[in-house]
A and B are shown apart, each in its own frame.
Chain A
Amino acid sequence: MSTEQLEKRLRRRSIHRSRSTAVAITLVVVALVAAWIGTEAVLKAIGQQPLLADPQTVVDTALTPDAAFTTIIEVIAAALVILGIVLVVLALKPGRQPRSGIDRDRGAVVIDTRILASTAANAAAHAAGVPEANTTASARGHRTQVHVVPLSGIPVDASAVEHAVGDRLGRLGGKHGSSVQVTVEQKGTLA
C-alpha cells in the first residue's frame, strides 16, 4: 500500500467511527447460539440428556403457544425488532465524528470541527469589525453557520463577512468554506 493510500485511509478512519464494537458483540452472540445448538445436537446424537433444553421441544412449544407464552414471545419479538433496527442503522450510517480532514502534503491531518467554528467566528469578527465575543459559529461537515451581533451604528455587510469566512476556511483546502451562511442580528450592542 502506498503512503498516499495509507494516509487517505488513516484520515477516513479518524473521521468516521469504527463499527468494530457492534460487530464484535453481534458475533459473540451468534457464536454462543451456534455453540449451544451444536452441543445439543451432539448430546442428542449420543443419546445423552440435553444441556438446557432439546431444540426440537423448544421449537414445538413455540409453534403451539398458549396465552401466557404468546405475550412473552411478543415481548421477545419486539426486542429483537428494535435490536435489528439499531444494528441496521449502525451498519448504514456513515458514523461521522465531529472532525474534518484538511489537505496537507505530508501526513494525514484531521482537525476538530470546533476549531473550524472558532476560526470562522474569528474571521467573521475581523471582517465585521466587532469584538470576537459578538460572533458565534457552528460547523458541521463542510457547512458553516456564523451569527454576528453588530455594534450599534456600524453596519455589518453580511456578504463581505461571508466572503471573508469562506476565504479563511478555504485556506484549509478541500471543500472547506464552500458553504457559509451568515446571519446578522437585527439589534446591535453598544460596545
Chain B
Amino acid sequence: MSAGPVGVDATAVPGRVEITARALTALARAAAAEQLGVPAKRLRVGLDDDRGSIVLDVTGPVREQADIVAAAAAAADAVGRRVGELAGRHVGRTHIELTGIVREHEGRVR
C-alpha cells in the first residue's frame, strides 16, 4: 500500500502524520543551509507542486570554495534528497539561485 509518507505503513499506526507547508519550508531551508554552508537566515526557500512532486526554489549565497557552480549543482541534488528523506515526500526538482558568496570570517568585528 502506498499510503502515507514513504517508508511508513499507514495501517501500522492509528492516526496520521501531517506536515504543514511552513514546516516543510523550514526543513528545506535548514537542509539548504547545511548543504550550501551558509546561515539559514540568509536563504529564502519557496515550495511548489509540479504534477504531484515538490519543487524547491532556493535563493541565497554559497560558501566560498573552488568550484562554486559544481558545488551549487551538487547542493541542489543533496537538498532535494535530504528533504525527501526527512519529510518522506518525493522531491522533483530543486532550483538554486545564487546571490552571493559567504566568506569564512564574514561579519566579524575587527
| A contact set with B: CB distance below 8 Å | 126-129, 131, 150-157, 160, 186-191
Collect the chain A residues with CB atoms within 8 Å of residue B6's CB.
154
- Taking A127-B1, A153-B92, A190-B21 as known contacts, 20 extra A-B pairs with beta carbons closer than 8 A to each other, sorted by chain A number, are A128-B3, A129-B5, A129-B10, A150-B52, A153-B54, A153-B88, A154-B6, A154-B88, A154-B89, A154-B90, A155-B2, A157-B2, A160-B2, A187-B51, A187-B52, A188-B49, A188-B52, A190-B24, A190-B47, A191-B19
Task: Determine the residue in chain B with the shortest Cβ distance to A189.
Answer: B49
Contact call A153/B1, Cβ cutoff below 8 A: no
| Contact-residue bracket for chain B | 20 to 34
Task: Determine the residue in chain B with the shortest Cβ distance to A151.
Answer: B89
Q: Which of A160, A186, A189, A190 contacts B1 (CB 8 A)?
A: A160
Contact call A129/B16, Cβ cutoff below 8 A: yes
B91 within 8 A of A: yes
Q: Which of A129, A186, A188 contacts B4 (CB 8 A)?
A: A129
Contact call A187/B10, Cβ cutoff below 8 A: no
Mind listing 15 A-B residue pairs with CB under 8 Å? Answer: A126-B3, A129-B2, A129-B3, A129-B10, A151-B89, A153-B52, A153-B54, A153-B87, A157-B2, A160-B1, A186-B52, A187-B51, A188-B49, A188-B52, A191-B21
Contact call B10/A152, Cβ cutoff below 8 A: no
| B contact set with A: CB distance below 8 Å | 1-6, 10, 16, 18-21, 24, 47-49, 51-54, 84, 87-92
- Which 7 pairs show the lowest CB-CB distances between chains A and B? A153-B89, A129-B4, A129-B3, A190-B21, A153-B90, A152-B49, A153-B54
Compute how far the CA of A128 lies from the CA of B10 in the bound complex, rounded to whole angstroms: 9
Contact call B1/A152, Cβ cutoff below 8 A: no
Contact call A155/B16, Cβ cutoff below 8 A: no
Chain B: interface secondary structure? loop
Contact call B2/A153, Cβ cutoff below 8 A: no
Collect the chain A residues with CB atoms within 8 Å of residue B3's CB.
126-129, 160
Compute how far the CA of A16 lies from the CA of B84 in the bound complex, rounded to whole angstroms: 53
Collect the chain B residues with CB atoms within 8 Å of residue A150's CB.
52
Collect the chain A residues with CB atoms within 8 Å of residue B53's CB.
152-153, 188
Compute how far the CA of A186 lies from the CA of B54 in the bound complex, rounded to whole angstroms: 13
Knowing A150-B52, A154-B90, A187-B49, the reply to whether A131 touches B18 (Cβ < 8 A) is yes
Collect the chain B residues with CB atoms within 8 Å of residue A131's CB.
16, 18
Q: Which of A154, A160, A186, A187 contacts B5 (CB 8 A)?
A: A154
Nearest CB of chain A from residue B101's CB, rounded to whole Å: 31
Collect the chain B residues with CB atoms within 8 Å of residue A191's CB.
18-21, 24
Collect the chain A residues with CB atoms within 8 Å of residue B47's CB.
152, 190
